[in-house]
Structure 1
Amino acid sequence: MSQTKKETYFTQLDGIRFVAVALVLFDHWLAEKNVLPLGHLGVTMFFVLSGFLITRILIESKLKDDKIGRSHWFSVKQFIIRRSIRIFPIYFLAIFALYLFDVPPVRDTILWCLAYATNFYIAIHQHWMGTIDHLWSLAVEEQYYLIFPYLILFLPSKHYLKVLTLMILLSIGLRVFFYLQGSNWVIQYVLMPTCLDCFGLGGLMAYYFTFHKEAIFEKLANTWLVLLSFGVYAFSVYYTLHQQSITHLSHQFGTVVLERFVSALFCFFFIAKAVSGYQSFGKSFLENPAISYFGRISYGIYLYHNFIYNFYHTPQTSIVLRVLHKIQRIMPAVSSNVVFELFYYFIITIVVASLSWFLVEKPINHLKKHFTY
């Protein structure tokens, strides 16, 4: 690995990607057996991580543009091309396959899917989309990519802190507005502007890493802050679940407005420490070859997992469930064993995501070397 690669690639972030996608898998596959907001936390972790990586790439591109006298439009073009190469191929292949096999509701919502607007569809109709529920978060990220690069590349760097702070405040303010309006909770959950506190916190991490690494970032990348922020998050989840058990209302001010910010704050410190580098058990886990590999293919894992199995929407006639039931008949000991079922779904998802990685994603990703910043 070259010195440049060492300086720009954060090894432990692949492990963070795996943690994020694993939380989503557990949440979606366990369904009603799980009462913890694991999926929410996993998606938030992805958003904060994206905020860090994308902001850092854009800041470095701007600094290079300024240094060599290059137009920032060059960096805009390179960013769009490289993101498109990474994201679009398997997304559109998946949509094409779902359309071809008439998997509901893809044919009825094909234009929303193709336009990366499934989150708008969910917000407008105020209901989820079955097997393709999870595409809303990919839509949020894509919409964020369409706007944010221009803020970083064309604004003076002295304004970055104000912009990122404003993003966080705007996001929380919008969630408060929707809550006071009595809007359906799903609206504030899936819209891109109401997710900006996650991206903004990730952006702050990139800002401090780039401009104030020793003075501020290294102080933020502190194990005690990770533990403290997790404690605050855990308490907020406990308090929310306790209130729900008393009021029987599933979506209160805590869940609608505060949960995302509190979880994003924990993700901020959790990821910052990984950027700096965990030691001992954290290092062993996040840098484990298997965990790192799962992290590298996490985009495919996330994209495909809902098609492998969805508690609410997968028919009993699906080949995945037919094979599972046959195994359970042959091996009664694993019948109704939740751990075995999760392992079974996970293995199938890893196989599918691995095929996608080696046959489609990795070969296409090699094209990115022609579009360096």
Structure 2
Amino acid sequence: MKQETYFTQLDGIRFLAVGLVLVDHWLAERNVLPLGVLGVTMFFVLSGFLITRILIQSKLKDDKVGRSHWFSVKQFIIRRSIRIFPIYFLTIFVLYALDVPPVRETVWWCLTYTTNIYIATKEHWMGTIDHLWSLAVEEQYYLIFPYLILFLPVKNYLKVLFSMIVLSIIIRIFLFLNGNEWMVQYVLMPTCLDSFGLGGLLAYYFTFKKETIFEEISKTKYLIASFILLISLMFFVRQYQLSSNQVHHFGNLVLERFIGSLFCFFLIAKAVTGYDGIMKFILENPASSYLGRISYGLYLYHNFVYNVYHTPNTSIVMKVLHKIQSVIPILSQNLAFELIYFLAITVFLATASWYLIEKPVNNLKKHFTY
């Protein structure tokens, strides 16, 4: 049974996801749309699809060759660790050595992938390492979900996946009605399960109902309808915020992630079967494909290159920027140039990370096939 099918356009989806996050984080208040939220949601749905598909195929192969599912558990953990841990822990080590706040004070939260729990319990963000919360969510998901797929009968998969979606929404509603600080329902792993669940549904239908349900899901009309729904929600949320002076409310705390996940559900389904035309070019051109491949590094490093709230003018990145702008005055206060400058540095760091660390280490995965 072949597991390593490579969906070319999914690299382009990764590029879109990380691009949305970078634009959102670097523009801050200049951007009024929740692009970062949508970008992270896209990553979650994509992870749900890819991880669930791998696990389902592993279970089917276990059953076919008569081996224990614990073999697949071990392989999954090793392969995920090889992919995720090296540059993550290296980054934490470097930040700790340079005494970048608040790493030393929160180092155990960082090392145990629980920064999202720190944010939820302390009810405040973590400065330049804010973005690590989503990596913590993914890791916590990996610690639980594989056992459900590998050890439960296939007939229970749909119940599990739909339950994840419903439970996640119920938890967000409960936290909202209970008056919890907004970041609590934003960063906790259980409140993100609708994204993973919808991605899991894609994997289930692709594996077992590819010629029927999955083919129907991948039709463009559903993508367009979900996009219209998402844009309508964004418009409603924005207008409500302006009229009520409420930044956080039911629309963006409860509905936004689900509607965004639904849009990503159809977006990814179509990418799996393959877009044509302009979308094919966007997702498959060499730049998109490459940036998608190094998207983990882009996401991990971008906040250290520049963060509108936490990067001081005394940082090396900002000193060089100001020097360039003093030499070429036309570039002073030029937002487009600043974004290109930050992106160039981030791409350079992610490229070095990919070729010097990630790619060589990833080659070890061939020794741990399913």
Structure 1 length normalisation: TM-score?
0.98
Cα deviations by residue, 1:314-334 (Å, 9 ceiling, x for unpaired): 011001000101111111111
- Whole-angstrom distance in 2 between the partners of 1:23 and 1:120: 24
Stretch moving more, 44-53 or 223-232: 223-232
Equivalent residue, structure 2, for 1:168: 165
For residue 231 of structure 1, what is the aligned residue in structure 2? Answer: 228
Counterpart-to-counterpart distance in 1, 2:315 and 2:40 = 27
1:32 to partner: Cα distance: 1.1
Match of 1:193 in 2: 190
Gaps of 5+ in 2: none
Q: Where does residue 282 of structure 1 map in the other structure?
A: 279
For residues 44-63 of structure 1, what are the structure 2 equivalents within 5 Å?
44-63=41-60
How far off its partner does 1:76 sit? 0.1
Q: Which residue does 1:38 correspond to in 2? A: 35
Of the three residues 340, 345, 357, the one matched with 1:343 is 340
- Say whether residues 1:303 and 2:304 are aligned partners: no
Give the corresponding residue for 1:104.
101
Q: Give runs of aligned pairs for residues 8-47 of structure 1, distance below 5 A.
A: 8-47=5-44
Correspondence for 1:213 among 210, 213, 218: 210
Tell me the distance in 1 between the aligned counterparts of 2:293 and 2:334.
29
Structure 2 residue 149 is matched with structure 1 residue 152: yes
Alignment partner of 1:371 is 2:346: no
Q: CA deviation at 1:225?
A: 1.1
Which amino acid in structure 1 is aligned with residue 271 of structure 2?
A
What residue identity is the alignment partner of 2:195? C
Shift of 1:348: 0.4
Does residue 352 (structure 1) correspond to residue 366 (structure 2)? The answer is no
* Residue 324 (1) aligns with residue 325 (2): no
* 1:227 to partner: Cα distance: 1.1
Q: Where do 5+ consecutive residues of structure 1 fail to align?
A: none
Residue identity matched to 2:369: T
Whichever residue aligns with residue 33 of structure 1, its letter is R
Match of 2:331 in 1: 334
Partner AA of 2:175 in structure 1? F
Residue matched to 2:86:
89
TM superposition shift of 1:222: 1.2
Partner of 1:69: 66
1:96 maps to a residue whose letter is: F
CA distance in 1, matches of 2:203, 2:41: 17
C-alpha distance in 1 between matches for 2:118 and 2:2:
42
How many angstroms does 1:350 deviate by?
0.2
Q: Residue type matched to 1:37 in 2?
A: P
Moved over 3 A (4+): none
Q: Deviations over 1:156-192 (max 9, x none)?
A: 0000000000000000000000001011110000000
Q: Give the aligned length.
A: 370
Letter of the 1:199 counterpart: F
The two structures have a TM-score, normalised by structure 2, of: 0.99
**Post-superposition shift, 1:285?**
1.4
What CA distance in whole angstroms lies between the structure 2 residues aligned with 1:70 and 1:227? Answer: 44
CA distance in 1, matches of 2:110, 2:287: 32
Paired with 2:241 and 2:310, the residues of 1 have a C-alpha distance of: 26
RMSD of the TM alignment (CA)?
0.9
Spell out, residue by residue over 1:24-57, the C-alpha distance to the aligned partner (whole angstroms, 9 max, x if none): 0000000111111000000000000000000000
Aligned to 1:264: 261
Whole-Å Cα distance in 2 between the matches of residues 268 and 323 of structure 1? Answer: 41
Aligned equivalents of 1:331, 1:269: Cα separation in 2:
45
Deviations 1:101-128 (A, max 9, x none): 0000000000000000000000000000
Residue 224 of structure 1: CA displacement?
1.5
What is the CA distance between 1:61 and its match in structure 2?
0.2
1:262-285, Cα deviation, whole Å (9 max, x unpaired): 000000000110001001111111
- Give, as a single letter, the amino acid of the residue that structure 2 aligns with 1:62: K
CA–CA separation in structure 2 for the residues paired with 1:35 and 1:95: 31
* Displacement after TM superposition at 1:4 (Å): 5.1
